Amino acid sequence: MASKPIIIALDYNSEKPVMELIAQLDPAQCRLKIGKELFTACGPDLVRNVKAKGFDIFLDLKFHDIPNTVAGACKVAADLGVWMLNVHASGGLAMMEKAREAVHKFGDDRPLLIAVTVLTSLAADDLKAVGVKANPEEQVSKLAFLTRQAGLDGVVCSAAETRLLRAQMPDDFCLVTPGIRRPEDAANDQKRVVGPVEALRNGSNYLVVGRPITKAESPADALASFNSALAGI
């Protein structure tokens, strides 16, 4: 099992609740994800402030643009000292290769670079509506192979696909899984969800968890519950 497999999604739009939450958390027990809403509201300064508290940061901005633009964005993100960042695999091979070149210039201090395959909010009908004939599992596999060809560290995928990808990919290919819910947690807007224990057993390395921890009466206790469930794997 990867060290600190739980990544807590900071789904806020201001700095105050972020700082109130992380004051209750131990950076030795989790990592944190900063996504589009929070980054748009607070910018790079928040990344620096959270990093100063000792947390590893997954900067989840899902870059998808022409290759040079994405490479430049990845370089700036790496300059912030984040632990992990991502792009959309559907941006294509050339885009991902340029992104890889940008972060690899940082040597041993470079962040992990992963690619989004198919968003966990999308089901087969959603893909069909945007012109993708493959089902989610087929499309995830196709984009994961493209990501590996580009030399990236891994992909974001639903835990419903991790068993397949773990069989297809080398052991050092990282699988990051959002949509993690325990039986007692609401699915909300996620359509392809799996529990934390099942996700790791299927081959996920890191699990992104949001509201089941951030909206809990005691986020620290909720995090401890997740970590305790995973301890025996």
Active-site positions read 62
Instruction: Report residue 29 as tokens.
Output: 């027990």
Rounded Cα–Cα distance for residues 209 and 61 (Å):
17
Rounded Cα–Cα distance for residues 80 and 111 (Å):
10
Q: Cβ distance 191 to 183 under 8 Å?
A: no
3-state secondary structure 137-196: HHHHHHHHHHHHHHCCCEEECCHHHHHHHHHHCCCCCEEEECCECCCCCCCCCCCCCECH
Question: What is each CA distance from 83 to 44, 146, 221, in whole angstroms?
Answer: 14, 23, 25
At 30, the amino acid letter reads C
Kindly give, in sequence order, each residue whose CB lies less than 8 Å from that of residue 154, ignoring residues fewer than 6 positions away. Answer: 112, 114, 115, 147, 173, 174, 175, 176, 205
